[in-house]
Amino acid sequence: MELLYQSTRSKGVKVTASQAILKGLADDGGLFVPEKIPGLDISIEDIAGMSYKETAYEVMKLFLTDFTETELKSCIGKAYDSKFDTGEIAPLTEKAGVYYLELFHGATIAFKDMALSILPHLLTASAKKNNVNKEIVILTATSGDTGKAAMAGFADVPGTRIIVFYPKNGVSRIQERQMVTQKGSNTSVIGITGNFDDAQSGVKAMFNNKELARALDGHNYQFSSANSINIGRLVPQVVYYVYSYAKLVAKGVIQSGSPVNFVVPTGNFGNILAAYYAKNMGIPVGKLICASNENKVLFDFFETGVYDKNREFMLTSSPSMDILVSSNLERLLFKIAGEDAEATRGMMEALASEGKYTITADMKAQMADFAGGWASEEETAAEIKRVYEETGYVMDTHTAVASAVYRAYKEKTKDNTVTVIASTASPYKFGTSVMGAIGSGYKGMDDFALVDELSRISGTDIPKAVEEIRTAPVLHSTVCKTEDMQKEVEKILGI
């Protein structure tokens, strides 16, 4: 049966999965959602015996129904290969009774690799399927991790170009170095003087600019998005929730059918939404615990039912979560509003004009699956230190936000359900903050000296992604003002 995708903002829009992947955003500015979240058609016991790739096929085939088995398996095979440093792809590590789902074993050592290593293949397959002969221009705003992971995925992929915007002063030094050393004749990276929300708004404005679309068309270009609003990113992320649940069954930690909580360090709400989709597919999930840093707009939303972005934007040690407009929340709103596109559009318009909206009591009641929490900078650093001292495990700042939120949640609720924390980045990516939390003696040390020290104290190998940038030359140095983003794109494309 074919599964079609509809827009969250108007009725009647129906596209295939491949069309949704190609377009990124719907023409009305809405996000594509499946008409119905499909149920798993195979038992957990069967999945428990499967590899990551096999699980990926079983999950993704239900969402991407216009891909043939051969096409989908080819995409999966090209994505989850030796770019990952473990055949498990997403290993589960247990420390002191908590399970860490390590999503950082890919090319750029952050969880974005889980989806962005397959998106270019899904996109080029979608183009072929829809007879698109134009060059696809991937336009992306990044809070630090998406940009590098997208460029690594798209570099030198024929028929594609990629342009990445990042907040010049809002990413870690290792993140910036990873981006500005990116190779590939089809890649461009630009720092902007604004923050991530500015970058994201600028990109959205270009997507919605009809005049620009015509100019692109005249030069045989077409925009697409690698941001987490693309269903080609959301769907691959559902896989690891299914996989990790089945692995807990395989290891005998739980019996099939008993619930598991997932704690997800959240920014744009893409990762946790994938967990919600996994739950809707039939995975027994207890609570979805949404962990925020000091930009705790989501925590406040879960508490009060009011989403209000009118507040100070905080730069934290978990920059990939420094976000005040969580784009993927729109998909949850649509669902809890009873798939009411009109109502969803109203809320998004209020967000655009007033920076806030309020959901109904009925909608709020439907969010009972979620628990919100947040951790301050001090709590995050203390959590890194505590877990290191108690277990020897070194976690990155984003994972530490989740870990701190989980500890507070457990203390408050006494909920003893088996719990999985989504570990979204390698500590090597945020070495300055991580080592600063572990010992005050590391302050002021050079980035790469810290990397060596981290390897020594944790007894882990330095990831290839970090070794590579030690000596790599800087290839990108453009910085522009937020309002000049479009000009930069026009310059790069020669339009």
Ligand X SMILES: *Cc1c(COP(=O)(O)O)cnc(C)c1O
Residues that are catalytic: 112
Sole window of 27-35, 43-51, 109-117, 450-458 interacting with ligand X (rule: CB under 6 A): 109-117
Q: Which is nearer to ligand X, 47 or 274 (CB)?
A: 274
Q: Which of 328, 377, 325 is nearest to 351 (CA)?
A: 325
Among the listed residues 21, 26, 109, 110, the single contact to ligand X using CB under 6 A? 110
In the complex, the smallest distance separating the C-beta of residue 4 from ligand X, rounded to whole angstroms, is: 24
Rounded to whole angstroms, what are the CA distances from 283 to 76, 250, 328? 22, 15, 21
Q: Which is nearer to ligand X, 112 or 335 (CB)?
A: 112
Adjacency order of strands within the sheet including 187-192: 221-225, 135-141, 160-167, 187-192, 478-480
Q: Which is nearer to ligand X, 216 or 242 (CB)?
A: 242
Are 7 and 28 spatial neighbours (Cβ–Cβ below 8 Å)?
Answer: yes
Are 136 and 160 spatial neighbours (Cβ–Cβ below 8 Å)?
Answer: yes
Among the listed residues 55, 178, 224, 271, the single contact to ligand X using CB under 6 A? 271
Q: How many residues bind ligand X (CB under 6 A)?
A: 17
Are 138 and 161 spatial neighbours (Cβ–Cβ below 8 Å)?
Answer: yes
Among the listed residues 5, 52, 84, 111, the single contact to ligand X using CB under 6 A? 111
For residue 380, state whether it binds ligand X (rule: CB under 6 A).
no
Q: Which of positions 320-339 make contact with ligand X (CB under 6 A)?
A: 320-321
Sole window of 267-275, 436-444, 455-463, 475-483 interacting with ligand X (rule: CB under 6 A): 267-275
| Alpha-carbon dihedral sign for residues 272, 274, 280, 286 | negative
C-alpha–C-alpha distance, residues 53 and 139, integer Å: 28
For residue 112, state whether it binds ligand X (rule: CB under 6 A).
yes
In the complex, the smallest distance separating the C-beta of residue 457 from ligand X, rounded to whole angstroms, is: 21
Sole window of 71-79, 104-112, 166-174, 338-346 interacting with ligand X (rule: CB under 6 A): 104-112
| Alpha-carbon dihedral sign for residues 348, 354, 355, 359 | negative
DSSP assignment string, 333-369: HHHHTTS-HHHHHHHHHHHHHHSEEE--HHHHHTTTT
In the complex, the smallest distance separating the C-beta of residue 422 from ligand X, rounded to whole angstroms, is: 8
Q: Which of 244, 265, 52 is nearest to 145 (CA)?
A: 265
For residue 262, state whether it binds ligand X (rule: CB under 6 A).
no
3-class state of residue 474 by DSSP = coil
C-alpha–C-alpha distance, residues 331 and 157, integer Å: 30
C-alpha–C-alpha distance, residues 356 and 346, integer Å: 11
In the complex, the smallest distance separating the C-beta of residue 380 from ligand X, rounded to whole angstroms, is: 12
C-alpha–C-alpha distance, residues 418 and 254, integer Å: 8
In the complex, the smallest distance separating the C-beta of residue 298 from ligand X, rounded to whole angstroms, is: 9
For residue 424, state whether it binds ligand X (rule: CB under 6 A).
yes
Q: Which is nearer to ligand X, 13 or 60 (CB)?
A: 60
For residue 270, state whether it binds ligand X (rule: CB under 6 A).
yes
Are 100 and 395 spatial neighbours (Cβ–Cβ below 8 Å)?
Answer: yes
260, β-bridge pairs: 285
Q: Which of positions 180-219 make contact with ligand X (CB under 6 A)?
A: none
Among the listed residues 71, 145, 176, 330, the single contact to ligand X using CB under 6 A? 145
In the complex, the smallest distance separating the C-beta of residue 430 from ligand X, rounded to whole angstroms, is: 8
For residue 228, state whether it binds ligand X (rule: CB under 6 A).
yes
Q: Which is nearer to ligand X, 103 or 180 (CB)?
A: 103
Sole window of 106-114, 179-187, 364-372, 455-463 interacting with ligand X (rule: CB under 6 A): 106-114
Among the listed residues 425, 450, 454, 485, the single contact to ligand X using CB under 6 A? 425
Burial of 109 (0-12, 13-18, 19+ CB in 10 A): buried
In the complex, the smallest distance separating the C-beta of residue 71 from ligand X, rounded to whole angstroms, is: 26
State which amino acid sits at residue 488. Answer: E
Cβ neighbors of 479 (< 8 A, separation 6 or more) are: 168, 190, 191, 192, 193
Cβ neighbors of 354 (< 8 A, separation 6 or more) are: none
In the complex, the smallest distance separating the C-beta of residue 142 from ligand X, rounded to whole angstroms, is: 9
Pairing state of beta strands 160-167 and 135-141? parallel
Q: Which of positions 22-51 make contact with ligand X (CB under 6 A)?
A: none
Q: Which of 395, 241, 429, 424 is nearest to 321 (CA)?
A: 424
Sole window of 110-118, 186-194, 452-460, 485-493 interacting with ligand X (rule: CB under 6 A): 110-118
In the complex, the smallest distance separating the C-beta of residue 106 from ligand X, rounded to whole angstroms, is: 11
Sole window of 75-83, 262-270, 431-439, 480-488 interacting with ligand X (rule: CB under 6 A): 262-270
Among the listed residues 24, 153, 236, 267, the single contact to ligand X using CB under 6 A? 267
State which amino acid sits at residue 464. Answer: K
Note the residues at the interface with ligand X (CB under 6 A).
110-112, 145, 228, 265-271, 320-321, 398, 424-425
